[in-house]
Structure 1
Amino acid sequence: MRVGPRLLSLLSLGLAVAACGDDEVTTTATTTGGEVETTAGPTDATEGETTAGETTGTGLCEADAHCDDGNACTKDRCSADGSCRVEAVLSNECRPQIDVSYPPRAATIVGEPGVPVVTVTGTVTSGAGSVEKLLINDKEVKIDADGGFTYDHVAAPGGNTLDLVAEDIVGAKRRRVQSYLWSSEYRKPEVIGEQMVPDGLAFYLSQDALDDGDGGEPADDIATVLGIALANFDIAAVLDPNTPLTNSAGFDVYLTDMAFGSTRVGLEARDGGLFITATLEEIVGDLYFDCTNIGCELLGGDGTGGLSVVELSVSAETEIYVDAQGQVQVTAMNAMTNLKQDDVDIWSNNGWTNFLISIIEPFILGGVVSDISAALNEQIDTQLGPALAGALNTLEVNALFDLPSLGGGETIPVNLVTEFASADFHDGDAPPDPSPPQSGEIHQRGAGYFSKDATPYDNEGVPGRVGCGSTDELVALPRTAEVELGLADDMINQVLYGAWRGGLLEFEVPPELAGDGATVIVNEFNASGMLAPTASDCKTPGMLLAHIGDLRFDGDLVVFDKPMTFTAYTSLLVRLEIAADGSSVSVGIPEVLELRTELTANEDDMIDAEEFIAGQIEDVVADTIVEALGGGGLGGIELPQIDLSAQLGLPPNTASLTLTAEGVVRSPGTTVIEAHFQ
């Protein structure tokens, strides 16, 4: 990153020529004050011979004409001591010209999968003579006799920069910097719901996030929240205290009341969904033995008793999938009652009714327990299943990014819109082999949509990462944390593209940023980004960088009291930082890593000032971007909160889970926020 003022370096170019006048001569050269002093002597003529326009046998020039080398791009003069002094002419006409035929500036190239090579073609010329050297990205490139060149540039999905430097026979140099985007696949999000990244975002839910086996408060897994719903199970609705369970030996047996001590919901990942178990613990009920004839009156009359069940549960398999409307659905099937007969106890409080216990036990097991099981199964179908679907559907991430304008003024809104694409649950055992851990994943497609179209440029859109050029792109999750949110680089680029379309890189450079006011006076200074910022880790595995290519500057300045107009192009690399704090995830640019600038002054007498102004531009770019977009300046998202309170008819935040971030790690093509429920 460039910081601080830059010093103007006024460089004079010198030339040692090989002729004085029209002679073939040998020379000795001494550079003085930017000039080249030569001493000429004939090499072909015999001693004492002279020809028209030549010097005499001493080899010294007598007039400027004797030093003329016939090159309009040099200034040749004869000095008082008889030596030729030659200077290079510093002008746009005389210095090298670099013409790139392909790719055009700010191109969006649709490449062939697995063949990320762009053939760069063009010509280099110079008014001063032949171009002796051409470097492209610091590699020397062969120049044909007519000035043509060809160079195969290995591209990476996303942004790529070409930095060309030509040097001619007199030592004059010229630089051209231009960029292009490359991918075999582009998306152009303009209408909400269209051109979404197929796998843009994903949640990983470990078995502990689903159910850590501890149903205590406060809730820290999805099963515990569902247990809050089951706690409202109305077991009294199962019984009819006015209808006897059975009639035997003159006694009508009634179950008059029933309650339970606690509930528990269990979730266990299986291939394709979850096993869900609804459990009632410590069930107790009151029995009333109503004597209806004289025979039972003789035994002792009415009596009381009770029943208890240590644990009764119903388990069901669930299939979890995403429907055509982009919603997570949970379907329960294959319900099964789980009851140990030893867990059931029935008793009488009166000795004369003890004989009824063995009689009524089948009615308890076949009637009451069956009714409770049916009610629990219905609870799974009508409450727990939909509540589970509701919990998973709250993981949809939608956000409004409100980005600052680099030139001040109105902010730039970009809508991040997602919808569910697929659900993937596994039991941790083969198949598949190898199997993911026992867990579930919910994947979402998504895109970023601009609200206003402010950029004057049109191109192919957002380049896909495409597995760094060779494969389909999928969100890669480490599956090591309790909860993981994977955000694909392609999704980040959707937001950056929306910001670019909204005018992020269209701004007027504030005069105070261009110089100190004494050195540089700004008449007009405008910036226009020809390419959208594009993030990628393909060139820097483990580090997410963003490329900003062909940021064009058009300036009308006064530099050191001289007018200067120019066009410049800057391409740069910045570091993208995705940070997590609590339930918030932010995106920012904390650092500019590399800047490359091409600047052409329209006035020949201001060519010497190009390096100085290019440095000022790079300072402006670096300072403006970091100041406006650092520290989360690109916006962010809030981690979703699971709150089933309203769905379950409970007070707000009664049945809720909050996601809290623990850290951020990188996987290929994916930023992963590690988190846990609390």
Structure 2
Amino acid sequence: MWNRVGLWLLLLVSYGLFCSCGNSADGGPVDPIKVVSIDTEVEVTTVQAGDSVDVSCIGRDQAGRVLNVEGFSLQIEPNEGASTEDLKVTLTLAGTVDIACSLEATGLVDDTPVSVEVTPGPASKTVAFIEPAVTVVDEEAVVTCEVQDAYGNEVSGSSMVAQVQPDLDVTVAGMVVSSTRTGDYEVVCVPEGADVGAKDTAIWTVEPGVAVTLDGLTLDPDLEDLPEQLAYTLEDKITVHGYGEDSYGNFVSDVLVTVIGIEPALDHVIFGDDDNRVRFKEEGVVLLTAVLKDNPDETASIEITVDQSGPDIVIIEPERGLTMDGDPQVVVSGEVSDNLGEVEWVRINDSYVNIEKGGYFTTSIPLEYGINMIVVEAADPFLNESLVARSVAWSTKWYPMDPPSLATNGITDGMFLMFTQEALDDGDHDPSQINDFATIFEIMMESMDLNQFVGNPIGEFAGCSYSINNMQFADSAVSLTLIDGGVNMVITLYDLSLDMQNSGQWWCVPNETITLASVTIASDILISMPNGEIESSAENTDVSIENLSFSGPLLNLISGLITPFLETTFEFVISDQISNTIGELFAAMAFNQTFELPAISEGGTPNELQLETEVASIYFEPAFLQLTMNSTAYAVNSLRPHEVLGSIGYAGCGPSGQPSTPPENPLKIAMHDDMLNQLVFGAWDGGTLNLQIDSAGIGDIDVSQYGITDLVISTDFLMPIVFNSCTEKGDVVEIGDLYLDASMNLIGQEAHFGFWIQGEAPVQIVVTQNEEGENEIGFELLDLDPLYLEVVINEGPFEGNDEGIISLIKSTLLGEMLSSLTGGLGGFAIPSIDLSSVSPDIPEGTSINVNISDIFRENAYMILGGSLK
């Protein structure tokens, strides 16, 4: 029996010692998943603020056994004033705190937390509170005090008294305070017993009472807060404030006042619930008087300057629309005055000038080629500025255009035409696409009747008389090569045939047909202008005949007659016909053409421009040939709106010599700036630019979106627009002394505006095709900069606000209108050349055109590079 019982006891002890079932607290950590409950234990349950509590967290398994588990954390409610380090908690906030262990890995939390009572620590400071924190003079405030520990917990049991600093004019009655002096005060609580150390203050603000005096006025907005404004404007709504003292002599700001008088009586409006706001309708210096709203016997005054207008500037000279030559200087003089009596400065084209007695000023400024804008600015002491501008066009040369003609107003070397070997003969001769001169001659040869050059009879002897008829060929080829002084031409006629007839005795050779495989005629065509007219001559002519054959053997007897006849005939064709045709072909490069500028405004009259050129010289070398032309362009019907010196002549930044050679393209057209300006002048002289338009004529912009209806605009250019290639911006269009008059219904009110406009805009010269497929030179205007608008009429809703109407016109009308005007300068057609007039052998309607691929500038010339087509 004992042995069996002893054995069981031994087994139980061994199981308890060695079995790993459950891993008790005495073993290593176990998987937290085996924990099914948690207990929280603390050493103490009552602590003082600032003390720490050590916490033990116990995990148990299903059987209630304690497990060795890691990963516990603490949950504390409330957690304000609590901090943890591992399982130690430091508590600073007085009150009851619940502490519970949690196991994050399983989400388990002890549902029976331990409560710890936290009591205040030792007294550390006093804290003062005051209500209300802001009072007016002689109003009472109540002070309350607390004694707190180092953590802000209230410590009871201390008796306090209130102290106020500074204490001048302060009354302290227990915990009630008041003062008759404005300012900020520090309020502290002092224990009646032992001092606890630190004292937290309460700030008490005492504000003034009701003002009983009115010592002065202030204005809102204050000009000191407006760094760019030294005087009030007509748009400013000014609020008037007062300042004074209350019954204890404290300063009172922002006192409510009522405006009662303005002297002198400028037009103004007084408004606001308390009649303390004012807006002026005219400029001047006034004395504004106001009274204390609660005591009308108290008054004060303040001086107000109302000025938004700059000085008045009158330019005496130069006159508007002036065109000048000679000395590149112009005297600028004028007078300046201000409605408030003072002018601070006058500046002309960014240079300050002296103001003499009576506001007179004068200076001399240099002029440059083109339109010179003269900008006069002035400012008054309040930094209000004014600007007026006008323009002077200057050059050393002008084309009067009165009357216009090539003889009197022609531009020497106004155009150059240059052709390379490719333009002369590119080796590909397609009659449906004429892109070189050789193709033209092949077309001419196909139409040429060789019989017209035969002088019958070609021979008479021994009673025989021989004639040639029905001379024809199957095909032809022409090659042209540039040489010094002209062109080498080679013409080959293929499969030539002719009939030889005898009208003599019976024994003569009968009628027979002669055939030739080919005839090649080579010659140097030399071209010159010894007397101002193109002359051409053939030299070094050679005729080669291949495979001359006869239909009958007897004709061999007279073959010596046929060969000289053919050589003489084709030498004549070259020397008399072809060489002359070549000369006439180059003479045809000069053109006299009329083209139409359409009216900008609907119902307007188109403007016809005449474009004339004449060949002045012709030059050949193996690399290229060059035609130098004199040219002019003018309005057929002059409607000259104002007297000017004429169309401006180039006196600009670069030489006027001929463009560079050889040309970069097969075709190079060089057009002198004077030619462009004569075209522009013709647009002005013929009335294209001076016009009257309505809203339908200013482009795609819908002016109704700006409240504009019934719009009518008229323009008057006192001088023609100038194309100027000599500026820092490159090619520009310059506009000087343009007067624009606009009437409209604006936001339901009738309005009328008048402006003088000066400006310039970069311009791009483009080549487009019109509906007929012709190339046209057009102007694309970019943004106007600089742009000066000078208002001389402002009637309607913007009256008195010139800047406002300038902004409106710039944003709505001006850009589109000027684009329409400069669009009217476009469409200068590059004419095609009618070749049918050169020779009757060239079919009617045959012409040659140009294909432009490049546009660039060389000194005084605009260059169009391209090819023939």
Question: TM-score higher than 0.5 here?
Answer: yes
Identical aligned pairs, as a percentage?
A: 18
1:555-594 residue pairs with structure 2 within 5 A? 567-574=754-761, 575-581=763-769, 582-594=773-785
Q: Which runs of 5+ in 1 are unaligned?
A: 1-11, 17-28, 40-61, 67-71, 295-300, 429-436
Q: Are 1:176 and 2:388 an aligned pair?
A: yes
- Tell me what 2:802 maps to: 610
Which of 72, 81, 84 aligns to 2:302? It is 84
* Aligned equivalent of 1:438: 624
Q: 1:203 and 2:417 equivalent?
A: yes
Q: Is 1:622 the counterpart of 2:815 in the alignment?
A: yes
Q: Post-superposition shift, 1:176?
A: 0.3
**The residue matched to 2:313 in structure 1 has which SS?**
strand
Task: Return the alpha-carbon distance in structure 2 between the equivalents of residues 667 and 471 of structure 1.
Answer: 9
Partner in structure 1 of residue 320 of structure 2: 105
2:120 alignment counterpart = none
- Which residue in 1 is equivalent to 2:639? 453
8 A Cα contact 2:707 2:747, kept in partner? yes
Deviation at 1:368, TM superposition (A): 4.2
Report how far residue 76 of structure 1 moved: 3.9
SS of aligned partner of 1:503:
coil
Judged with a 3 Å threshold, the aligned counterparts in structure 2 of structure 1 residues 411 and 671 are, in CA distance, closer, same or farther, namely farther
Q: Could you say what secondary structure the match of 2:784 adopts?
A: strand
Using a 3 Å threshold, how does the CA distance of structure 1 residues 563 and 409 change in structure 2: closer, same or farther?
Answer: closer
**Counterpart residue number, 2:648:** 463
The alpha-carbon deviation at position 515 of structure 1 amounts to 6.5
Work out the CA distance in 2 between the residues paired with 1:638 and 1:470. 25
Is contact 1:308–1:345 with CA below 8 Å preserved after alignment? yes
Higher relative contact order (CA 8 A, sep 6+): 1
Structure 2 CA distance for aligned equivalents of residues 78 and 525 of structure 1: 48
For 2:344 and 2:714, locate their aligned partners in 1 and report how far apart those are by CA, in whole Å: 35
Correspondences of 1:522-541 after superposition (within 5 Å): 526-540=714-728
Tell me the residue number matched to 1:263. Answer: 476
**Which residue in the other structure is 2:521 paired with?**
313
Alignment check: 8 A CA contact 1:119 1:153 kept: yes
Mapped partners of 1:573, 1:258: distance in 2: 67
Match for residue 52 of structure 1? none
2:790 pairs, out of 575, 581, 598, with 598
1:222-257: CA deviation from partner (whole Å, max 9, x where unpaired): 12212333343527965979858999xxxx999999
TM alignment of 1:210-359, pairs within 5 A: 210-215=424-429, 217-218=431-432, 219-231=434-446, 232=448, 234=450, 243=459, 262-280=475-493, 312-321=520-529, 329-333=534-538, 335-338=539-542
Q: Which amino acid aligns with 1:572?
A: G
Which of 178-187 and 662-671 deviates more? Answer: 662-671
Displacement of 1:38 in angstroms is 13
Partner of 1:189: 401
Q: Secondary structure at the match of 2:340?
A: coil
**Aligned partners of 1:241 and 1:126: how far apart in 2?**
102
Q: State whether residues 568 and 598 of structure 1, in contact with CA within 8 Å, keep that contact through their aligned partners in structure 2.
A: yes
Cα pair 2:415 2:670 within 8 Å, conserved: yes
CA distance in 2, matches of 1:82, 1:280: 114
| Counterpart AA for 1:142 | V
Q: Alignment length, in residue pairs?
A: 585
Alpha carbons of 1:14 and 1:88: their partners in 2 closer, same or farther (altered >3 Å)? farther
Aligned partners of 1:281 and 1:245: how far apart in 2?
Answer: 31
Read off the aligned partner of 1:615 and give its amino acid letter. Answer: S
SS, match of residue 506 in structure 1? coil
Which residue of 2 is the match for residue 161 of structure 1?
373
Q: Hey, what's the Cα distance between the residues in 1 that align with 2:469 and 2:746?
A: 98
Distance 1:416 1:30, change over 3 A: closer
CA distance in 2, matches of 1:170, 1:316: 83
AA aligned opposite 1:315 = S
State the one-letter code of the partner of 1:169.
P
Matching residue's letter, 2:644: N
In the alignment, residue 481 of structure 2 is paired with which amino acid? Answer: E
Q: CA deviation at 1:539?
A: 0.7
Deviation digits for residues 155-184 of structure 1 (CA, Å, limit 9, x no counterpart): 442223223221112322211021221111
- Over 3 Å counting, the alpha-carbon distance change for 1:476 and 1:607 in structure 2 is farther
Using the alignment, how far apart are the partners of 1:143 and 1:521 within structure 2? 46
> Which structure 2 segments of 5+ residues have no match?
1-219, 225-229, 243-259, 265-282, 292-298
**Structure 1 length normalisation: TM-score?**
0.70
Of residues 403, 409, 414 in structure 1, which corresponds to 2:597?
403
Higher-Rg member (1/2): 2
Distance of 1:577 and 1:316 partners within structure 2: 40
Q: CA separation in 1, counterparts of 2:471 and 2:263?
A: 121
Match of 1:424 among 611, 618, 635: 618
- Pick the aligned partner of 1:143 from 343, 354, 371: 354
Cα distance in structure 1, aligned partners of 2:335 and 2:645: 27
**How far apart, CA to CA, are the structure 1 residues paired with 2:469 and 2:751?**
98
Q: Measure the CA separation in 2 of the matches of 1:486 and 1:160.
A: 27
SS of 1:375 mapped into structure 2:
helix
2:582 corresponding residue in structure 1 = 388
SS in 1 for 2:567: helix
SS of the aligned residue for 2:840 comes to coil
